[in-house]
Amino acid sequence: MRSFLKQIRGVLTFAVLTINTVVWFVPLFLLAVLKLILPIAAARSVITRWLMAVAENWVAVNALALSGSGSRDWQASGIEELHRRGWYLVVANHQTSVDILVLQVAFNRRIPLLKFFIKQELIWFPLLGIGFWALDMPFMKRHSASYLAKHPQQKGKDLEATRKACEKFRDTPTSVINFVEGTRFTEEKRTARNSPYQHLLAPRPGGIAIAVSSMGEVFDALVDVTLVYPDGVPKFWDMVCGDRVSVTVDVRVRPIDAALLAGDYQNNREFRRDVHRWLTSLWQDKDARIAAIKGRVA
């Protein structure tokens, strides 16, 4: 009976999340179409702010639904000095699809709406794909090493797409987030990739290097986020069913390293080494922080 009631709770919570998405999708889509056809830059800027407000309301209702399911035990620290009118480059480790929901709730209305780099295939995802497009989420088409070997003319196209996407964010306060590991962390991936870190995969610096070189002077700060799930990595369905999800969101606000603002990551080998060294130092500190947080709550 307890298991049955748990599944019913999951169905009801998921229904609320789905209805909430559908409700806010309508004004989001209509505003996006209006923005697309209007030729006046000032009007498009106003509509962009309205679109962000719609998305923030969607996130806020999602947070209420999860609170009602009894599944949230989320502790955030270090966000006090952030503000909604800033430009931020957000860097986080990545462990589960729940990460995105946690980050949205933790930062909602504290900084501008998070802009994720989205896999191009997700534009076809029902409702959400059009929502991502309406909110100017940058779509990325990543090519495998084997594909690039057969089609060398495609090399660097994904980084160029990153650069063009970032250019659109100069006119409106924006938070650009990058999961620099490139995929979710698992012990199997850590071993297979021979990661030098205990709790992280080795970072991939290309995307963040392009973001910094494209609009680094616009960013007010680097927001270094460390996500830790002391009780183990949760699954989305278990969370909506009411299982207690404990997560620590540790935020460190750092200045953007001036040495990273004027380099050519694709063509300058020495600059690439500088970016690698900077990101390695950041990741070593993050790995130690995860170990410390887990040690405190053990």
- 133, 123 contact by CB (below 8 A): yes
Place of tokens 């780099």: 117
The secondary structure element, H or E, covering residue 60 is: helix 41-69
User: What is the average pLDDT across 169-183?
Assistant: 85
User: What is the average pLDDT across 271-287?
Assistant: 90
| pLDDT tens-digit map of 28-72 | 989 988 988 888 888 888 888 899 999 999 999 999 888 876 666
User: What is the average pLDDT across 89-115?
Assistant: 92
Q: Which pLDDT score is estimated for 296?
A: 74
Ordered by where they begin, the domains of the chain are: 73-297 (3.40.1130)
When comparing pLDDT for 139 and 106, which is higher? 106
Q: Which pLDDT score is estimated for 207?
A: 74
- 47, 35 contact by CB (below 8 A): yes
Both tokens assigned to 154? 């495609």
Quote the mean pLDDT of the chain: 84
With 80 as the cut, is the pLDDT of residue 222 above it? yes
Q: Which pLDDT score is estimated for 160?
A: 67
Q: Which pLDDT score is estimated for 115?
A: 86
Give start and end residues of each alpha helix (H) in 70-153: 98-107, 128-134, 145-150
| Confidence band, pLDDT 50/70/90 cuts, at residue 90 | very high
With 80 as the cut, is the pLDDT of residue 210 above it? no
Q: Which pLDDT score is estimated for 229?
A: 93
User: What is the average pLDDT across 86-115?
Assistant: 92
